[in-house]
Structures are given as C-alpha cells and as structure tokens.
C-alpha cells in the first residue's frame, strides 16, 4: 500500500515537472526544397543576393487534424513544381494545435503565383486552420541567411500587426 502511494506521488511530481517541457515540444520537416542543399545553401539558379521568405502560423481546428494533414500534403506536393521555390519547412506543436510554415522563394512574385494555385487556395479555404488564429509575415533576407531559424521566424510573426 505504501509503495503505491509513493509511486503515485512520484508520477504526479514527474508529470508536474515534465508537462511544461513537453507542452513546448514541436515536430516537423526540416528545411528542404529543390533550390536548397543542406551543405551548400541556396542553389536555385534564379536566386539573387536577396530572397523572399513567407512565414505562417495558425491553430488547427479541433477534430480537423487529419484533414489538415491531407491538405498540407497536397500543397507540399504541388509546391515543389513552382519554379521560384527555394525550399520550405513545416513545424507543429507536439501537444497542441499550432502549426508554422516557412518557405523561401527567389522573389515575391514566385510566392504569389504559388499562393494563387488551386491546391493552395483550396487548402486555405478548407484546410482546418481557425481563421482568427492565422497570421503571416513576409520579408526579404540575404541569401546566406536561408533557412531562418524558427526563433527568427517567430520574431517576424510577433512583429506583424495583429488583426482585430
């Protein structure tokens, strides 16, 4: 009886200590793409000294995780066919609804052509992201900064004015 109480106390203490650590865990795809090499950096022939970065974040609506994943796979599959893509990364909270995307393009026009594609428009309309949670940030960076770290991406998102 006494051992069971000790085990329960230890389990409660462990969950109290570990829950904050686990709650902040994130999983995702590392930065990759047709215009990027992990050892050489940006290799896209159309890239100049500055490239365009698009960052998004949003919360997947309850019960729509599987649908979101299907839409994400569709978008990533078609994204690779866009000439101006350098690369992309995706990240999600392990125990939470938040999702982030980061993509690098040779210029803003290339990203806008992709954003207007049927797969991307469908994902925006039907993807399962709660509209009130969605935010985005866009910037040009020196080609040598690609990929941005996730902390840099989050700082750019935080600097964007919030929608009311």
CA angle (50, 74, 76) in 5-degree steps:
25
Q: What is the pLDDT along the chain (164 residues), one digit of tens a residue?
A: 556 654 544 455 444 444 444 456 767 889 999 999 999 999 999 999 999 999 999 999 998 888 888 888 889 889 988 999 999 999 999 889 999 999 999 999 999 999 999 989 988 888 889 989 999 999 999 999 999 999 999 999 999 776 54
Helix (H) or strand (E) holding 53: strand 50-59
Contact call for residues 136 and 160 (beta carbons, < 8 A): yes
Helix (H) or strand (E) holding 153: helix 150-159
Reference 64, options 1, 131, 17, 160; nearest CA is: 131
pTM: predicted TM-score of the whole model, two decimal places: 0.82
**How much is the pLDDT for 114?**
95
**How many whole angstroms from its chain centre is CA 75?**
13
Question: Please, what CATH class does the domain formed by 25-159 belong to?
Answer: alpha beta
């Amino acid at each position: 009886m006494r051992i069971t109480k000790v085990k329960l106390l230890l389990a409660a203490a462990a969950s109290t200590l570990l829950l904050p650590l686990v709650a902040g865990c994130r999983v995702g795809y590392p930065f990759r793409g047709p215009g990027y090499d992990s050892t050489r950096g940006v290799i896209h022939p159309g890239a100049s000294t500055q490239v365009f970065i698009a960052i998004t974040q949003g919360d997947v609506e309850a019960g729509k995780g599987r649908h979101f994943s299907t839409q994400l796979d569709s978008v990533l599959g078609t994204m690779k066919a866009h000439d101006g893509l350098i690369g992309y990364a995706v990240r999600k909270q392990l125990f939470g609804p938040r999702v982030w995307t980061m993509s690098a393009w040779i210029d803003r026009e290339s990203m806008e052509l992709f954003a207007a594609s049927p797969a991307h428009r469908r994902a925006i309309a039907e993807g399962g992201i709660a509209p009130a949670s969605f935010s985005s940030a866009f910037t040009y960076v020196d080609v040598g900064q690609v990929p941005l770290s996730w902390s840099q991406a989050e700082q750019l998102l935080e600097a964007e004015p919030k929608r009311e």
